[in-house]
Structures are given as structure tokens and as C-alpha cells.
Amino acid sequence: MDERKLEVLRAIVTDYVQTREPVGSKALVERHNLDVSPATIRNDMAVLEDEGYLIQPHTSAGRVPTDKGYRLFVDRLATIKPLSVAERRAISTFLAGAADIDDIVHRTVRLLAQLTQQVALVQYPIARTTTIRHVEVVSLHADRALLIMIDSTGRIDQRTLLLPEHSVTELDQWRERLNRAVVGLTPGKALDALAGLAGEPTKDAGDAERATVVIDALRSMLGSDPSSEVVVAGVPNLTRFGAAYKMVIGPVLEALEEQVVLLRLLGDAVAEHPGDVSVRIGQENPYQRLQSTSLVASGYGPDEPWATLGVVGPTYMDYPSTIAAVRAVARYVGRFLAEG
């Protein structure tokens, strides 16, 4: 495709994103200083339509980009719109106060939704080298205790246990035994260590029953995969997309409620472009309920991707700004995790 037709396509995409109205040749000439006549632009638009990059909603109307047109626009982006100094400062400030991994995830998803005005998705991170930092057992009541596990990413998991007739001394002993067994190990190796600990003799039947409760609870915590959860924010942004878009909001909302769909959506997209931002547009999405949307996603982590984040929005989203925001947030979060 020659450069002028590409320029016409870029101009149509830009105007349609701003106005949500079909774009005509006269308006293009006036707004974009294309230095050619409206007749020449009409001819270029007809060629772009014949090749599937544009459609004409009805006779005498202007043109609207197709999924194929958006794809060419994204693939030929010369530059990604840089974030402003204020936006970069906002990202850094917003993440700076995070206390633990849960706080990082929830701050990140809110930040991404605010920056892009789209629906933001953030998968919980889990490093391949995550280890157990500390285990605590605290008495809550005569027959209740709290088991707490902290890993090297700062993530905290806890379970309330039914432990009749336990003593504080007994819980202190269990804390020492559990920490000796699992601290510094990855979750998989910690599970193996617990198998050996469970076989150690106990002083009486009651203690054996309580030991089983404690060890089984810790096994459950070690076996749970935090990366199987995706946090969503900005769903109300769907209502900004106009009357025509409301026809598909229902299916999109249903898809956004399914964790399995979101995990596959993010994972498949990022697998195509590891280390960079991935863009899936409309029909490129394998999930039918999301084929009226586009996904912009990226992996994030200190040195290699621990998980993925991204945004879902209408196909007529502002791709340069959205790509820049997703890329910047992913890098900031990765840097923050490295410093933590």
C-alpha cells in the first residue's frame, strides 16, 4: 500500500476514534492537510474499502475502519504516543505506597483503568523462584487458630483452623517446626518437606489430630496458585462506548466474569509477543463474546514476565495512547517488584 493511502487510513482511524461518526473525504482534507483534492481522497477511500480496510455504513455516508483497518493501523504505527510527565509521575506515586503483592495488584488494575478509561485486567504475579519467607500460627480462641504464610513476593495467605484444646506453647512449637521445614523453599519443595513432617511422631492422639489440621491447611495454601486469579477494574467504562456498543455489553460482561476466559485471553495474547505489547483486534479474538472488543496486553515482572496485564475496550479505542499506557504500567510494576 502506498504512503498516501496509509495516511488516509491513519486519518480516518484517528477521526473515527474521536468522533464515533463515519468520516468523509471533505472532512479529511480540511482536518489533516493532505494536499490532495477530495476527489482523490474519495478514490483512495474506495480502494481501501475494496481491500477490506474500510466499510461504508450506508450510501452517501463516510467510511468507518474495519478490524482489518485497525490491524494495519496498529502494525504501521510509526511511534507510540509517549505518556506525559504528569502521567508518569502519577504511575510512580500511585504504586509507591503499595504494602504487599495484593496491594500492588489492586493499585495497578485501578491505575490502568484510570489511565486508559477501559476495562483493566491484571493477573496475580507468581515468580518461578518464589520461596516461603515465614509461617505463623496464632491462637484466636480456645478452639480456633490462625495460620499465616508469607512468601518472598510479600503475598500473604491465611486460614482459620479448628483446633480444640490447643495451647499457646503447642502453637509456638508448631511455628518453629513449620518454619524449619519450609522457609526458603519453593512451594513445590515445601510440599515435599511437609510430607516428611507429617510422618513425625506426636505425643498423643489429640496432638496428632491437631497436627493433621495444621499441615493439611498449609498444604492447601502452598498448593493454591495465585496466578490463576485475574483482578478486573473499570467495568463502568463500558457505558461510555455509546448506544451502538450497548448491544454487546451483556456478552462482554459475562466473559469478564469468567476467570478461565480471562487467563486464556491474557496468556494467549502475550504468548504471541513475549516481551512486548500484544494487540488483538475484534475478530482476531477467539472468544466470540469478546469479538466486538480489542485487547491490549503485556507481560510484567522484574526481569522476566511473572504474569500479564492489559485492557479490554471497543475496537475504536485510542491505540497509540492505550499501548503506551499498558507498556508503561507493565514496566513500572516490574521495576517496583524488583525493588521489593
For 190-237, write each residue's pLDDT tens digit.
Answer: 888 888 776 665 554 457 788 889 999 998 888 776 667 899 999 988
For 280-302, write each residue's pLDDT tens digit.
Answer: 999 998 888 888 899 999 998 88
Q: Which residues are CB-contacts of 242 (< 8 A; sequence separation ≥ 6)?
A: 20
* Residue 144 backbone dihedrals phi, psi, to 5 degrees: -135, 145
Left (φ > 0), alpha (ψ -120 to 50) or beta: where does 216 sit?
A: alpha
Task: Please check whether residues 213 and 170 belong to one and the same domain.
Answer: yes
CA distances from 201 to 91, 175, 197 (A): 53, 17, 9
Residue whose grid cell is 474500510: 54
Task: Please check whether residues 335 and 232 belong to one and the same domain.
Answer: yes
Which of 191, 224, 257 is a domain's end point? Answer: 224
Beta bridge partners of 298: 309
For 132-174, write each residue's pLDDT tens digit.
Answer: 999 999 999 888 999 999 988 777 889 999 998 888 888 998 9
> 67-75 and 319-339 helices cross at what angle (nearest 10)?
60
**Domain at 161, CATH number:** 3.30.390.10
**Domain at 43, CATH number:** 1.10.10.10
Number of domains composing the chain: 3
For the four alpha carbons of 289, 291, 294 and 297, in that order, the dihedral sign comes to positive
Please indicate, yes or no, if residue 34 is contained in any of the structural domains. Answer: yes
Please indicate, yes or no, if residue 80 is contained in any of the structural domains. Answer: no
C-alpha cell at 74: 496498529
Mean pLDDT, residues 11-33 taken together: 89
Which of 194, 224, 254 is a domain's end point? Answer: 224
Q: Which 3 state secondary structure label does DSSP give 136?
A: strand
Mean pLDDT, residues 14-37 taken together: 87
Task: Please check whether residues 290 and 163 belong to one and the same domain.
Answer: no
Check residue 205 and give its pLDDT: 44
Tally of CA atoms within 13 A in the half-sphere of 98 that contains its CB: 27
Does pLDDT of 312 surpass 90?
yes
Task: Please check whether residues 107 and 241 belong to one and the same domain.
Answer: yes
- Tell me what percent of the residues of the chain surpass a pLDDT of 90: 40
Which of the four pLDDT bands, split at 50, 70 and 90, describes residue 241?
low
Cα–Cα distance, 223 to 177 (Å, whole number): 19
Decide if 328 contacts 137 (C-beta within 8 A).
Answer: no
Task: Please check whether residues 58 and 139 belong to one and the same domain.
Answer: no
pLDDT greater at residue 242 or residue 251 = 251
**Quick one: how far is CA 274 from the chain centroid?**
15
Which of the four pLDDT bands, split at 50, 70 and 90, describes residue 98?
confident
Cα–Cα distance, 183 to 221 (Å, whole number): 14
Does pLDDT of 2 surpass 90?
no
Mean pLDDT, all residues of the chain: 86
Task: Please check whether residues 254 and 107 belong to one and the same domain.
Answer: yes
CA distances from 111 to 72, 211, 270, 274, 310 (A): 29, 43, 20, 23, 11
Task: Please check whether residues 234 and 96 belong to one and the same domain.
Answer: yes
Which of the four pLDDT bands, split at 50, 70 and 90, describes residue 12?
very high
Does pLDDT of 248 surpass 80?
no
Does pLDDT of 95 surpass 90?
no
- For residue 47, the enclosing domain spans 3-75
C-alpha cell at 102: 495484593
